[in-house]
Chains A and B, each alone.
Chain A
Amino acid sequence: MDIIQEAFLHVATWQTILALFCGVAIGTIIGAIPGMTVSMGVALTLPFTFTLDPVTGILLLLGVYKGGIYGGSITAIVIRAPGTPAASCTVLDGFPMAQKGEARKALEMALYASCIADFISNLALIFFAGFLASLALKFGAPEFFTLIVFSLTIIAGVSGDDLIKGLASAMLGLIGATVGLDLVYGTDRFVFGVYELMGGLSFIPVLIGLFALPEIINHYTHKDRGIGDINKIGSARLSLAELKGSLKSILRGSLIGVVLGAIPGIGGAPAAFLSYSEAKRTSPNGKNFGKGEVEGVAAAESGNNGVAGATMIPLLALGVPGDVITAVILGAFMVHGLRPGPILFQQNLDIIYALFMGIMMSSVFLFIIGKSSIRMFSRIAEIPNSILYPAVLILCVFGAYAINNTIFDILVMMAVGVLGFGMLKFGFPTAPFLIAFVLGPLLEDNFRQALLISQGDYGIFVRGPICWFFWALTVLSVVIVLNRTTGFLKFMKRQPKAGT
């Protein structure tokens, strides 16, 4: 009880509350700028924490992180340029909603889904940190490989009406992900002497190129170019019934986010896509997904925000950072002489509890800041398209450059943009490209690592219950997809009758 009191005293200071509030606000703005990643925002804020109390400093960073994850959805919905990779799934239904004049409704759903998922993720961090961390520790290269193979089945869910084109699009994404130095031998792959390609194609320029640029180029194909056209905000607001209708998808997405977030190295984008795919498969509104379905926004946002609290699990419980952002936060711990892991739980339990309290408070701040900014951000949709699209292009160019400070990334963005425009015109969905591009390096890396461990024995991919579990899920997903696209199960049932 004394420890809880001490923890409360750490949090209940105006400096800590202000730092957390400012962190969430800064994160929301950074997340909403294409090209400014959350990790960049957290890294830029890090120096400001050096002079602060450890709890205040770490909560400032956590605020930036949580605000950034939500902020990414704003531009994804309003201008089809996801601020963060994790928000790329939100584009699928968020932007069509904005085009229908429901930007405000989409932003509201994104906020509610984000806050609920964030809250659940925080609860998981507080109550299941130990259990989830031990589960995450059981993941070796073969388990990762099977998990990613299963995650790739979500391509079927985001391929729209044409599965084959979705799969071809995914292959393009996979081949794009192989550019750079070989993961095992360090030899060149598709580099052709261009040294900028040695590090591979940067993720953010590809992301912006794939989603924002095709929309901009496509604007010039319109007959009347839509001069003066605006995507009206409309009076449509999210109703309680719509929120209730999406609650199941939000809860499922939150859980998916929690489990994937606890596993180091997965990140928010796969969680968002997996949540979206599951919601599409099970929802009665599944057919409307991709056409501006509010439940699609809820599923995507709950998936990526469910990751936020859970990524702290391996960091706090084991001292293992799961991604770049938690690695920066680990740095903040170390600057203040703290070392996350089991010892921190023994020696500085008051700090842990204070962080838990602050993290819960961040969900409330996220709601307040998000709610008050929705009207302002949804006004962007009121700018005439003939002015908005060139402005978005300039924003994208600055954003693509800012990732690595290289003009080459702008070229990558534009080339991918032209490719994305071609895909749009020929009916190739772009989401499978992106999923494969994100998961490709993980898939190959774990495949080859597993074979290195087993010295070429493929039996390693069925070495334990986790592998079997994901193989079973993969087979189940493939059967469901086959059934949905070809009526496979009906055909199998009819076969005996035909024989008699």
Chain B
Amino acid sequence: MKFEKYGDIAAGGVVAAFSILGLAYLVPIGVKSPPNVSVAPLAPPFWPSIILWMMLGFAALIVLKGIYGMSRADSAGDAPSDAEAPADKDTDSTMNARVTRTAIAVVLLFIYQAAIEPIGMVLASIIAGLAFTFLAGERRYRFFVPVAVLLPIVLYYFFTKIAAIPIPLGFFEFIEF
């Protein structure tokens, strides 16, 4: 699979790109330094810059390792090919379905977070619980619906009444539970 073959190179590339972004943009723009710093290592950008340079070095090593591993596999002629793929290997459609499902789960996470402020943590959690369980392929409603509904309510009562931590209720804020 291409992902496995180029995995290290891609991973090293992403880390290297982040390091370069950090050194070229994030540190100069995001780290403010007072003008009168007498000892260079005491300046606020010093530590992040050192870390980012080291990260860049390790990223380069990961890329080199990936290239070395790929060339070794090619020269040994043992690169995995589709013909040698095991029988239970994913078909393209199954693979696409898994990627789509994972992408939906990630998007749902952020929708869940964004929904907490307007509709409150309890309702958002109930909806998220139902959605995530449904996405996981669970269809035994009589098991998962009570869990998805009761768990946020129990947690709400635990945090507000026992731990004295106010839980946001969004537009249900007026209701005294």
Contact = CB atoms under 8 A, between A and B. Distances in A.
A398 B47 contact: no
B102 A221 contact: yes
Contacts of B52: 171, 175
Given A171-B55, A175-B22, A426-B10, A389 B136 contact: yes
Contact of B136 (A40, A175, A190, A386): A386
B121 A397 contact: yes
B51 interface: yes
B62 A165 contact: yes
A327 to B, nearest CB: 19
B119 interface: no
Contacts of B144: 386-387, 390
Interface in B68-123: 90, 94, 98-99, 101-102, 104-106, 109-110, 112-113, 116-117, 121
Interface in B27-63: 30-34, 37-39, 41-42, 44, 47-48, 51-52, 54-55, 58-59, 61-62
A227 B110 CA distance: 24
Interface in A198-242: 213, 216-217, 219-225, 227
A223 B95 CA distance: 8
Interface residues of B, number: 69
A182 interface: yes
A360 interface: no
Contacts of A172: 15, 55
A168 interface: yes
Q: How large is the interface on A (under 10, 10 to 19, 20 to 34, 35 or more residues)?
A: 35 or more
A361 interface: no
Contacts of A367: none
B169 interface: no
* Chief secondary structure at chain B's binding surface: helix
Contact of B98 (A164, A221, A391): A221
A227 B41 contact: no
Interface in B143-177: 143-144, 147-148, 151-152, 155, 159, 163-168
A141 to B, nearest CB: 13
B136 A390 contact: yes
B34 A187 contact: yes
Nearest to B103: A220
A44 B65 CA distance: 51
Contacts of B102: 217, 220-221
Question: What are the 6 closest A-B residue pairs judged by CB atoms, nearest first?
Answer: A390-B132, A456-B39, A171-B55, A386-B138, A426-B11, A386-B136
Interface of A: 36, 40, 44, 164-165, 167-168, 171-172, 174-175, 178, 182, 184-185, 187-192, 213, 216-217, 219-225, 227, 384-387, 389-391, 393-395, 397-398, 401-402, 405, 407, 410-411, 414, 417-418, 421, 426-428, 444, 447-448, 451-452, 455-456
